[in-house]
Amino acid sequence: MRDILEELFYGNICPETDCRSSGKESRQLMGYIADHHDNLLATLDDKQKELLKKFDDCHSELIDINERAIFTYAFRLGAQIMLAAIKEGENVG
């Protein structure tokens, strides 16, 4: 198996698309959201539809910003934990 950095470099590891929360409960909730969105959209006039589209775009951008921040935080935390474990291992040996 390739080194994890090589895997990341070649795009074989893609954390933002490898969602582990795609279980039954999550899929069901996403279905409800899509159904409610479609039902709401069907009741709107053109001006309201444009407003909802702008809302959806802003919401998607906010989710992207938050996911990026969470990923960065978690990656740094994992690296700090690894460094602490290595340092502790050096002190023991």
Domain boundaries along the sequence of the chain: 46-93
- Residue 15 and residue 71 in contact, taking contact as beta carbons nearer than 8 Å: yes
pTM: 0.68
Residue linked to tokens 């938050």: 66
Note the pLDDT of residue 59: 96
pLDDT in tens, the chain (93 residues): 468 778 877 888 776 666 555 678 888 999 999 999 999 999 999 999 999 999 999 999 999 999 889 989 998 999 999 999 888 888 876
Note the pLDDT of residue 17: 67
Residue linked to tokens 């582990």: 20
